[in-house]
């Protein structure tokens, strides 16, 4: 079997269950609301061409082609064309089945290359089976998101799939992924809001259990992650547990069904960051507080409180188990599979803390919830024969009074009486059992409804943007889808009316406005017909004979009943094609999504939604904070004008807006707000009614696609120009790609030039009066070119800036290196100094430690020596006392007997020691006498040495002065009298006796050198004698130690000095003789020479050595 036949088997295996068969399971992907649409698709024409949307206008059946064939049970199967004969074709499907059918009943199948394509408008053949098969192909591969032109189609997988998280958020933010996703829709809304400065809205719609609420959460998470930063986004996300806890409930089709609609408007600051948010709610289903059908639950908050309240709170509220409260007993369903109500209660409390609801207010909220539960347990007893009743004063009544902060008697009166104004007189009417129970339930519903509104108000205060608001916002609308139950009451009536309005907005946004814009801009456009729901809306809104007008009119009549209302509808609306009267109190409305049968039972009472003045006064008199707030809110509503004529004859003493009229006003405000935004649509699809993953019900999916208008969107998007841009904006955005002289032209000419320059085919765009219209994908090509050009510019800039930065970096590095070298040098020097100090300290420590160790070793050795000595001495003593005999007596242990021989020896030793002592004392006296003699002689020696030192010093000073004077005289004789030398030289010259003069000069030099040697010798000897004498004095005084006799050495030194003195005097006299001889040989030098000699010798003789 080839791949096409396998595909045929796969598509044939798709579920064939009718839309009438709706199960009661819920979605693990998103706990949602509502039942599936019950109306059958049997009213739809089976003729494909009559549907007006299948893109199969040209198709000729050919042999071996594949086509879609609709089986008698309504399923589409892929068949292989075996042969074609005339208008008939022989096809094979489901392996062995062969059938001959009319060729015009076959629809062409797309080529395999298009299997699983993410945008339905790119299918070659657009038909019901092609769309269904493509969605199933992607669904089975966990690709749950697909595009239908501008609409995102999301199929609930009923399991966790890895398509979410920070990595995916960053990828879609940076445009790394372009596949369909909720993240992509949210990112587009952000970009268009910033770029075009237009508020955006994301409208999420779909059947109950399709994943609307979860999709809204995903969109909010993306906005918070991408545009958060101020912290307010965390508070926005934390509102979900509160709203779900107090506004969601388990229904027969969804474990977490939203029983209200909400519009979350997220405000942004001027820099595009989330600055705050506001929440608007619509039509809370109050009846669920007091009544639940089998298998359903009331609001989650009741069960969470009963399961998760701490013991202190349980005691304060007198809480019991959920199954002990009558309001919760009706459905026999107290838990949800896989949901921990206690943990959900903890999450709700945490969320209340985050949105700044104080602990006191939280306790008041839980008190109101407990009061509503206990109200259901209030019972009544008859008080007279007219069936009038009053509440029994039991635990339930007393607990309610305590929780509300009112007197039990006042509560008893409010539940059993009604105040009426007749003829301007107040009349108190007692109630029967039915009326009393209705009054009790009305009070419970009003308290819960006001509590819900108060919580939303507190959340809005916490999320208020304040001065950070920039005026730009993104609104996320999560509202209930079409509902059709076995019994449909006023709640389904309002919900389906709201969906009709939303569908018209969808049509208006995608169909009407698009075609009108084509016409206004002069575009060559073939008008496409689409199914409009204006007739159904007129049925609801027409005055005075519309459904809403007739309902409000009948509500004001005191004697009106549900049957009279049904009859009035049949009387006035039977001719309307969208209305059909049924037997009894029922009627049917043909909605855009199908037919829904409504039962008018309870319509009038629910529409009035009256809480009588007695109950309002009771709440006003309560001491608790919240009941007083609720009463003020109710009184403000009663001051508004009532609808139609007031009931002046009796009944309630106050009127307020009816439920439908109030809801209609809210709906019109919502439509107006959405109309001022650029809408993005997400259509959620439920693949099966069993809420199981992997099951794809063909008929159910097809019905939802039709209800959401997805197929119409695909058809119109394929045939139109989905992308458009004004001439000015187009030229401003892409004009820089042109040359300067072309870009400076008017916007229209520049735009045309851009299109021509980039070879955009004429059939791919059209030029309107004010805008350019493009086919799908064309603007993306221009954006790619623009991005490439900008990237090139940025690359050039980056290269230049990089070069400049590198130069700066290089210079900075050089300076840093220089600075680092100085710093590191200083650091190294400091470290070296520290290291040196540590080294010296370590050496000192080592020295001390080594010394300590050495002393320890020495002490050990010393102690060991003492021990050894003690042992040896003991041994010697014992050896020397071997003859000693010691004997101890019994009488006195201290008495001993000593050997006589040993005793005599001891006596001898004592005598000997005494004699030695006397001798030593005598020696001591002799030594002391000798010491005194030595000291006397030493003082004489010191005086003699002192006198000799003085004499030697005088003699040395005399010799020193004589030598100094001799040097000076010789110098003066040779150099100080140049006139004499010059005269002598002239005389020698005149006599031509140069040789004699030279010889005389040499002899004089010799004399001078001899005197110099004598002076040096004198200095040396004087130092030697002085040092020796000083040393001997130090030895004598004990300052120096030497193995010699200082007296003998002093005598020898004196003899040596006298001998040298005589020798030095003789040599000095010889030198004098030599010098006299030299001077006599120079006698011819004249008178001047004699004068010089006389002077020299005179000075010499005057300073001779004594």
- Evaluated on CA atoms 110, 114, 117, 121, the torsion sign reads negative
Is the separation of the CB atoms in 370 and 319 below 8 Å?
yes
Side-chain half-sphere exposure of 873, counting CA atoms within 13 A: 6
Cα–Cα dist 362/351, whole Å? 11
What are the structure tokens assigned to 1073, written together?
A: 């003789």
Q: ∠ CA 707-150-514 to the nearest 5 degrees?
A: 85
Distances (CA, A) of 273 to 9, 225, 231, 462: 51, 10, 10, 17
Q: Token pair of 535, please?
A: 């007739």
Instruction: Report strand pairing: 261-268 vs 595-599.
Output: unpaired
Residue 516 falls in the annotated catalytic set: no
Return the SS3 of 246: helix
b/e map of 498-514 (b: 16 or more CB within 10 Å)?
bbbbbbbbbbbbbbeeb
Which of 110, 257, 298, 446 is labelled catalytic? Answer: 257
CA distance 342 to 344: 5
Contact between 268 and 193 under an 8 Å Cβ cutoff? The reply is yes
**SS3 of 874-938:** HHHHHHHCCCCCCCCCCCCCCCCCCCHHHHHHHHHHHHHHHHHHHHHHHHHHHHHHHHHHHHHHH
Active-site option among 285, 390, 483, 514: 483
> Are residues 273 and 247 in contact, defined by beta-carbon separation less than 8 angstroms?
no
Give yes or no: 209 in active site: yes
Annotated catalytic residue, options 254, 364, 488, 496: 254
Q: What angle do CA 825, 831, 832 make, to 5 degrees?
A: 90
Residue in 1019, 1045, 1013 with CA at minimum distance from that of residue 1032: 1045
The span from the CA of 798 to the CA of 805, in Å, is: 10
Identify the H or E element spanning 391.
strand 389-391
Q: Is 254 a catalytic residue?
A: yes
Residue of 34, 89, 199, 208 with catalytic role = 208
Whether 514 is a known active-site residue: answer: no
Catalytic entry in 258, 417, 439, 984: 258
Dihedrals φ, ψ of 559, to 5°?
-100, 5
- Euclidean distance between CA atoms 582 and 686, whole angstroms: 30
Q: In the annotation, is 208 catalytic? A: yes
Of the candidates 15, 36, 209, 308, the residue annotated as catalytic is 209
Q: Is 546 among the residues known to form the active site?
A: no
Contact between 726 and 750 under an 8 Å Cβ cutoff? The reply is no
Terminal CA-CA length for the chain: 153
Residue of 481, 594, 720, 735 marked catalytic: 481
Active-site residue list = 208-209, 213, 254, 257-258, 481, 483
């Amino acid at each position: 079997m080839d791949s096409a036949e396998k595909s045929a088997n796969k598509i044939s295996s798709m579920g064939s269950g009718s839309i009438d068969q709706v199960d009661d399971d819920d979605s693990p992907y998103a706990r949602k609301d509502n039942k599936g649409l019950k109306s059958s698709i049997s009213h739809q024409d089976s003729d494909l061409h009559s549907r007006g949307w299948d893109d199969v206008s040209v198709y000729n059946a050919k042999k071996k082609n594949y086509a879609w064939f609709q089986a008698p049970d309504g399923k589409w199967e892929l068949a292989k064309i075996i042969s074609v004969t005339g208008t008939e074709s022989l096809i094979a499907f489901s392996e062995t089945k062969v059938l001959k059918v009319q060729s015009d009943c076959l629809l062409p199948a797309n080529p395999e290359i298009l299997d699983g394509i993410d945008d339905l408008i790119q299918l070659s053949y657009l038909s019901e089976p092609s769309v269904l098969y493509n969605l199933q192909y992607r669904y089975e591969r966990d690709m749950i998101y697909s595009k239908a032109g501008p609409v995102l189609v999301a199929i609930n997988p009923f399991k966790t799939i890895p398509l979410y998280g920070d990595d995916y958020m960053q990828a879609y933010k940076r445009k790394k992924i372009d596949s369909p996703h909720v993240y992509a829709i949210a990112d587009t809304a952000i970009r268009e809001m910033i770029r075009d400065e237009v508020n955006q809205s994301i409208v999420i719609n779909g059947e109950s259990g399709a994943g609307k609420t979860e999709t809204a959460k995903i969109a909010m998470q993306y906005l918070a992650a991408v545009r958060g930063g101020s912290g307010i986004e965390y508070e926005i996300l934390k509102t979900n547990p509160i709203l779900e806890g107090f506004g969601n409930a388990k229904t027969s089709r969804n474990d977490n069904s939203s029983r209200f609609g909400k519009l979350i408007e997220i405000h942004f600051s001027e820099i595009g960051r989330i600055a705050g948010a506001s929440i608007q709610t619509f039509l809370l289903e109050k009846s669920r507080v007091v009544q639940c059908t089998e298998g359903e639950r009331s609001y989650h908050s009741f069960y969470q409180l009963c399961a998760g309240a701490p013991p202190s709170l349980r005691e304060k509220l007198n809480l019991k188990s959920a199954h002990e409260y009558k309001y919760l007993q009706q459905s026999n369903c107290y838990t949800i599979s896989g949901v921990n109500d206690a943990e959900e209660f903890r999450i709700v409390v945490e969320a209340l803390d985050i949105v700044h609801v104080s602990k006191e207010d939280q306790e008041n909220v839980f008190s109101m919830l407990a009061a509503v539960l206990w109200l259901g347990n209030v019972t009544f007893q008859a008080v007279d024969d007219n069936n009038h009743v009053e509440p029994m004063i039991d635990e339930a009544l007393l607990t309610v009074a305590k929780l509300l902060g009112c007197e039990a008697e006042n509560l008893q009166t409010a539940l059993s009486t009604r105040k009426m104004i007749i003829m301007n007189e107040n009349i108190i009417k007692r109630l029967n059992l039915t009326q009393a129970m209705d009054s009790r339930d009305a009070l419970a519903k009003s308290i819960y409804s006001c509590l819900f509104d108060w919580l939303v108000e507190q959340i809005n205060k916490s999320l208020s943007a304040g001065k950070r608001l920039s005026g730009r916002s993104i609104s996320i609308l999560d509202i209930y889808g079409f509902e059709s139950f076995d019994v449909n009451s006023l709640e389904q009536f309002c919900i389906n009316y709201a969906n009709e309005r939303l569908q018209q907005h969808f049509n208006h946004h995608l169909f009407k406005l698009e075609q009108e814009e084509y016409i206004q801009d002069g575009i060559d456009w073939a008008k496409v017909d689409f199914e409009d729901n204006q007739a159904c809306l007129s049925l609801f809104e027409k005055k005075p004979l519309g459904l809403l007008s007739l309902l409000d009119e009948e509500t004001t009549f005191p004697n009106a009943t549900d049957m009279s209302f049904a009859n009035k509808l049949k009387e006035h609306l039977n001719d309307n094609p969208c209305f059909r009267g049924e037997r009894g109190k029922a009627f049917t409305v043909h909605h855009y999504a199908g037919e829904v049968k409504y039962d008018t039972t309870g319509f009038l009472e629910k529409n009035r939604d009256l809480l009588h003045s007695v109950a309002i006064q009771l709440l006003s008199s309560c001491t608790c904070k919240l009941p007083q707030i609720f009463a003020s809110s109710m009184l403000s509503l009663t001051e508004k004008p009532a609808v139609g004529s007031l009931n002046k004859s009796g009944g309630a003493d106050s009127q307020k807006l009816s439920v439908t009229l109030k809801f209609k006003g809210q709906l019109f405000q919502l439509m107006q707000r959405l109309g001022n935004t650029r809408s993005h649509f997400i259509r959620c699809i439920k693949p099966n009614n069993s809420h199981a993953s992997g099951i794809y019900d063909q008929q159910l999916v097809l019905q939802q696609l039709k209800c959401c208008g997805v197929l119409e969107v695909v058809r119109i998007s394929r045939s139109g120009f989905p992308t458009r841009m004004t001439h000015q904006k187009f030229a401003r955005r892409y004009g820089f790609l042109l040359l300067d002289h072309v870009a400076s032209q008017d916007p229209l000419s520049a735009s045309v030039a851009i299109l021509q320059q980039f070879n955009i085919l004429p059939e791919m765009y059209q030029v309107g009066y004010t805008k350019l219209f493009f086919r799908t994908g064309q603007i993306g090509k221009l954006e790619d070119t623009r991005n490439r050009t900008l990237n090139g510019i940025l690359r050039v800039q980056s290269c230049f800036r990089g070069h400049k930065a590198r130069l700066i970096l290089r210079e900075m590095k050089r300076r840093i290196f220089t600075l680092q070298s100085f710093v590191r040098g200083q650091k190294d020097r400091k470290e070296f100094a520290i290291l040196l100090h540590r080294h010296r300290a370590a050496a000192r420590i080592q020295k001390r430690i080594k010394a300590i160790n050495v002393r320890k070793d020495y002490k050990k050795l010393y102690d060991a020596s003492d021990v050894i000595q003690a042992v040896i001495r003991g041994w010697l003593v014992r050896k020397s006392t071997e003859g000693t005999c010691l004997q101890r007596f019994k009488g006195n242990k201290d008495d001993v007997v000593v050997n006589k021989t040993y005793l005599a020896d001891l006596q001898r030793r004592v005598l000997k020691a005494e004699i030695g002592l006397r001798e030593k004392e005598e020696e001591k006296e002799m030594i002391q006498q000798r010491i005194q003699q030595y000291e006397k002689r030493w003082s004489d020696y010191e005086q003699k040495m002192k006198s000799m030192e003085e004499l030697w010093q005088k003699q040395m000073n005399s010799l020193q002065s004589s030598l100094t004077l001799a040097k000076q005289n010789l110098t003066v004789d040779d150099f100080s009298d140049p006139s004499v030398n010059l005269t002598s030289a002239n005389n020698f010259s005149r006599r031509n006796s140069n040789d004699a003069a030279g010889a005389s000069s040499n002899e004089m030099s010799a004399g001078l050198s001899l005197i110099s040697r004598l002076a040096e010798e004198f200095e040396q000897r004087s130092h030697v004698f002085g040092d020796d004498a000083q040393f001997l004095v130090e030895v004598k005084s004990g300052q120096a130690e030497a193995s010699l006799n200082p007296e003998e050495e002093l005598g020898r030194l004196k003899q040596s000095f006298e001998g040298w003195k005589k020798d030095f005097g003789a040599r000095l006299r010889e030198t004098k003789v030599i010098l006299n001889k030299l001077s006599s040989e120079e006698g011819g030098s004249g008178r001047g020479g004699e004068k010089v000699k006389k002077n020299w010798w005179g000075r010499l003789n005057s300073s001779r050595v004594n």
